[in-house]
Structure 1
Amino acid sequence: MTGATARPLWLMILAAALIVFLGMGMRSTFGLFLEPISSQMDWGREIFGLTFAIQNIVWGMTQPFAGGLADRYGSGRVLSLGGLLYVVGLLLMAEATTPLLMHLTGGVLIGLAQGLASMSIGMATVARHTPVHRRTLAMSIVTMGGSAGQLAISPLAPLFIGSYGYVFTLVMMAAAVALIIPLALPLAGRPPAYTAGPSQSFGEAIREAGGHRGYWLLIGGFFVCGFHVAFIGLHLPAYVADSGLEPWVGGVALATVGAFNIGGTLAAGALGDRYSKKYLLSFLYFARAVAILFLVLMPTTVEVVLVFSAMIGVLWLSTVPLTTGLVGQIFGPQYMGMLAGVVFFSHQIGSFGGAYLGGMLFDATGSYDIVWWMSIALGILAGLVHWPIDERPVVRPAAAA
């Protein structure tokens, strides 16, 4: 065998998980830079919120194309290029002194990097080499890398920022992210030939998915996931500080989210291989609405913040292997990276809204209350949207014949 197929599955899963550990772990700290950068530059929170929003939307726009390249030519080169751009973006972001430069570096460049060195590409690569009955669990292990990165890196970021400043911290993050480049090697090589049923062209796969109602429902539901994750990840530390708690509480809150999501993501993967993925997704979104309602109604104390972080942590990235797994289950693995990338673009449109509206409405009203209540309503809506999805694999004419 050649390329990625010559490497043991455990090594591919480990490499993909470590890439996600670095990429998502560093990304989870951006909310900790909101207050120090905004204060030092004398900016409103809307400016850094817009940077993070641009980052998310560029990431989402890049994802389908990056997934398509990885589906056709293999993941190694795509992931390596993403790692390189991530390093450059963080180094240039550290030197940004105007809103435009911050938007171009922290927004556009890092967004491109995250689209290329993305969780979706790692999951799709691993899924192609994993037996169907273990596929969702394998993808959840890759996703778990992001939770582990958040757990490990989020508590360190405020310590570095407080002791050495945000510029030095960004440089250190760039040095760590450079490890993505060699980690992409076990995932290099052309993907294996597709043999399970009739092969499709790129255009046929797009048209088939576009005509499937369940695909559009997945796209709508994942929008809500992006809104939640971006708003909470970016603005929770500032919300905690505004409530009179010490800055370290925000870092510990994000770390708690990461810690509890390790178990949550693994559980979602294991359950997704045995039970209906769409019903599990509905439960996760309803539970998110309950967790956010708890935070809104309770007094903002250290204990309440940490309990909320644990609750939302169980639900944080648990939607990702289930959503991606549904794409593969319905449409097959041949264009899984590209089709999942399109769904992920919707996630990033939601992320743009969560990040930007959080900053804009706070600057306008002095409070995050409106966005918290929006998040509750969207969680209920997403729970309802997933219920009618048809999970059955599509039957193509050639296969039926």
Structure 2
Amino acid sequence: MALLAAAGTRSAPGVLLVPLEEAFGWGRSITALAAGIGIFLYGLVGPFAAALMASFGLRRTVLSALILMSAATGASAFMTQPWHLIMTWGVFSGIGSGAVAMVLGATIVNRWFVSHRGLVMGLLTASTATGTLVFLPLLAVLADSGGWRSVVMAASAATALMVPIVWFFVPEKPGAVGLLPYGALRPPPDTPRRGILAAAFGSLQRAAATRTFWYLAGTFFICGFTTNGLVGTHLIAFCSDMGIPQVQAAGLLAIMGIFDLIGTTASGWLTDRYDPRKLLFFYYGVRGLSLMYLPFSDFSYYSLALFAVFYGLDWIATVPPTLRLATEAFGEQDAPVVFGWIAAGHQLGAASAAFLGGLLRDTQGDYLTMFLLAGSTGLLAAGLSVMIHRKAAPAVA
């Protein structure tokens, strides 16, 4: 639920592009810049958030992040200048949402589960991606009926609502409630606490010495570039350019969210059984071809529905196999923090696409070049995936 609420908040700039342009006269590159900064910080905070969860506590970290997100988005209701948008939706919302993101899922999976990790990571990842998409129709309706301020207040209220729920219902670890991790025969050994910076940068230093890290970071950069950076931020505006109403376009993203829930959960199940490199090759290849197809479609109901189904199934199915490869390569203790750095690459790619998409739209008048570029990077990621060296996971006692 926390991942759903945080992801829904993170997706709101996609709905705000056109309303803010109409209300303040800001070009899409301005709003896209704020969205890009938020997406970048959303990823950059990840490894530090994972280290913070290990030292300061998971529940405290998540609660602090939710409060910061709620305060930042609520304050944006009073903005009048572009820098207000950048600070609230870019800087502070990005920092807060970075702690309630994929690294939270990775920490939960490694802390609470020994078996079925791929499936659980698929479910948690689906919550993140589905929250990004399924709330967009509601936010679009609010923007149409109540203006952009109703959108930011709804986002603020959603994250504020999660604060008492997390406070009362999220335990710190299995031992805190007298349980073993699922599938474990004995309690996990206590790990020594490390400083936040030592944990974050120490894990990065060890991981960066391997090719596996750079292949995973590179493919995940492209994952972000081709999902929430481009489609999540610009698809509604792209459809608006093609004469499709904003609410209908947001409904298209909601359809993607529903199919993403199926696709990413299935990806987790498959990751427990098959070579994750082959899965990544298939996912990135299908995604690249889908993005190249969209600009040349006729934007009819049938064409858009076809794109929504194929793209939705593949939206963020890459996460479970990527986490598995990271855990195999870097070990259970370092994996959440290393995955945080890999996820930072994801969000750097997303931020690049969010800003570049707005810039190309403002300078060229359409999104054709951007979608072709993104599709090409998807095919590149498919090739990089099969180059990743895989180390067999140790047997579980």
| Alignment TM-score, normalising by the size of structure 2 | 0.89
Q: Which residue of 1 aligns with 2:50?
A: 67
Q: Is the 2:111–2:173 Cα contact (8 Å) retained in structure 1? A: no
Given candidates 80, 83, 95, the residue that maps to 2:66 is: 83
- Higher alpha-carbon deviation: 302-311 or 84-93: 302-311
Q: Which residue of 2 aligns with 1:315?
A: 314
Given candidates 40, 55, 60, the residue that maps to 1:57 is: 40
Q: Which residue of 2 aligns with 1:301?
A: 300
Q: Which residue of 2 aligns with 1:163?
A: 145
Q: Is the 2:17–2:28 Cα contact (8 Å) retained in structure 1? A: yes
> What displacement does 1:246 show?
2.1
> What displacement does 1:187 show?
3.8
Output one character per residue of 1:366-395: Cα deviation in whole Å (capped at 9) or x when no partner: 011111111111001101111111221589
Q: Which residue of 2 aligns with 1:226?
A: 224
- Higher alpha-carbon deviation: 160-169 or 259-268: 160-169
Given candidates 142, 162, 167, the residue that maps to 1:180 is: 162
| SS of structure 2 residue aligned to 1:333 | helix
2:245 alignment partner AA: E
Q: Which residue of 1 aligns with 2:181?
A: none
- Higher alpha-carbon deviation: 270-279 or 294-303: 294-303
Output one character per residue of 1:303-359: Cα deviation in whole Å (capped at 9) or x when no partner: 222221221111112112221222122222212221111001111110111000000
Q: Is the 1:140–1:269 Cα contact (8 Å) retained in structure 2? A: yes
Q: Is the 2:220–2:342 Cα contact (8 Å) retained in structure 1? A: yes
> What displacement does 1:281 show?
0.9
Output one character per residue of 1:26-68: Cα deviation in whole Å (capped at 9) or x when no partner: 3223211110111111011100000001101122221111111
1:83 alignment partner AA: L
Q: Residues of 2 paired with 1:275 and 1:199: CA distance? A: 34
2:125 alignment partner AA: T
Change over 3 Å in CA distance of 1:65–1:147 after alignment to 2: closer
| SS of structure 1 residue aligned to 2:79 | coil
1:219 alignment partner AA: A
- Number of residue-to-residue matches in the alignment: 377
- Higher alpha-carbon deviation: 136-145 or 329-338: 329-338
Q: Is the 1:240–1:250 Cα contact (8 Å) retained in structure 2? A: yes
Instruction: Within 5 Å, give how 1:1-400 maps onto structure 2.
Output: 18-132=1-115, 134-150=116-132, 152-185=134-167, 186-189=169-172, 195=189, 202=199, 205-229=203-227, 230-393=229-392
Q: Residues of 2 paired with 1:197 and 1:21: CA distance? A: 30
Q: Is the 1:253–1:309 Cα contact (8 Å) retained in structure 2? A: yes
| SS of structure 2 residue aligned to 1:335 | helix
> What displacement does 1:197 show?
11
1:379 alignment partner AA: G
Q: Residues of 1 paired with 2:84 and 2:304: CA distance? A: 34
> What displacement does 1:90 show?
0.8
Q: Is the 1:74–1:191 Cα contact (8 Å) retained in structure 2? A: no
Q: Is the 2:360–2:367 Cα contact (8 Å) retained in structure 1? A: yes
> What displacement does 1:190 show?
6.2
Q: Residues of 1 paired with 2:212 and 2:102: CA distance? A: 22
Change over 3 Å in CA distance of 1:78–1:198 after alignment to 2: closer
> What displacement does 1:151 show?
5.1
Q: Residues of 1 paired with 2:290 and 2:339: CA distance? A: 27
Q: Is the 1:74–1:190 Cα contact (8 Å) retained in structure 2? A: no
Q: Is the 1:59–1:115 Cα contact (8 Å) retained in structure 2? A: yes
2:123 alignment partner AA: I
Q: Residues of 2 paired with 1:183 and 1:383: CA distance? A: 40
Q: Is the 1:214–1:390 Cα contact (8 Å) retained in structure 2? A: yes
> What displacement does 1:278 show?
1.5
Output one character per residue of 1:241-293: Cα deviation in whole Å (capped at 9) or x when no partner: 11112222211111011011010011100000000111101110000011112
- Higher alpha-carbon deviation: 62-71 or 200-209: 200-209
Q: Is the 1:32–1:250 Cα contact (8 Å) retained in structure 2? A: no
| Alignment TM-score, normalising by the size of structure 1 | 0.88
> What displacement does 1:194 show?
5.3
Q: Is the 1:66–1:78 Cα contact (8 Å) retained in structure 2? A: yes
Q: Residues of 2 paired with 1:260 and 1:169: CA distance? A: 25
Q: Is the 2:11–2:133 Cα contact (8 Å) retained in structure 1? A: no
1:55 alignment partner AA: G
The alignment yields a C-alpha RMSD, in angstroms, of: 2.3
Q: Residues of 2 paired with 1:97 and 1:321: CA distance? A: 41
Q: Is the 2:110–2:336 Cα contact (8 Å) retained in structure 1? A: no
Runs (5+) with no aligned partner, structure 2: 176-186
Q: Residues of 1 paired with 2:105 and 2:64: CA distance? A: 14
